[in-house]
Amino acid sequence: MAYEPCDYPIGVSEIATVLSVKPSTVSQWGVRKNLPDCDAIVNGGNTKLWTLETILNWASSTGRNNRNLNNCNDALRLVVSDMMSEKENQMASASSRWDKLSDEWNTYRESMGLDTYQKDKFRDLGSYESEEE
């Protein structure tokens, strides 16, 4: 069963994306009891969730709809796009860390007089060419 866009559950980070504010701002609204009642509580009571519809209606009625989103489809596209962008940034960061670690590993191997690994197109250090065959 798929969610209808208006029933899509969102948390603090997604609300921040939809309303073009920082997650800390949304958290403060929660502390100050400015947010609407949540639609669900999960994670042993630690995580509150709202539907997109709940947040869009609340934001429009309180003047917090900074992006002037008037339908759940647009809001959901924004949330998903932001999630994808965040994942791409995380992948780029991990790739950069992997490059640094693999370079350091090869430098170490070289200093010990050992063969170094050759990076392939998948950044895999799982093989090296040896002349001892």
Q: Please list the pLDDT of the chain residue by residue as tens digits (133 residues).
A: 677 989 999 999 999 999 999 999 999 999 999 999 999 999 999 999 999 999 999 999 999 999 999 899 999 999 999 888 888 888 888 888 878 888 888 888 889 998 887 765 455 555 545 555 4
CA dihedral 28, 33, 39, 45 (to 10 degrees): 70
Residue 9 belongs to some domain of the structure = yes
Residue 85 belongs to some domain of the structure = yes
**Residue numbers of the domain that contains 78:** 5-89
Residue 21 belongs to some domain of the structure = yes
Task: Please classify residue 117 by burial: count the beta carbons closer than 10 Å to its beta carbon, then call 0-12 exposed, 13-18 middle and 19+ buried.
Answer: middle
CATH of the domain at 79: 1.10.1660.10
d(CA 46, CA 83): 21
The answer to whether residues 107 and 45 touch, using CB atoms and an 8 Å cutoff, is no
CA distances to 103, 105, 113, 116, 126 from 123, rounded to whole Å, are: 11, 13, 23, 14, 9
Work out how many domains the chain is built from and give that number.
1
Q: So what's the pLDDT on residue 98? A: 79
Residue 48 belongs to some domain of the structure = yes
Residue 53 belongs to some domain of the structure = yes
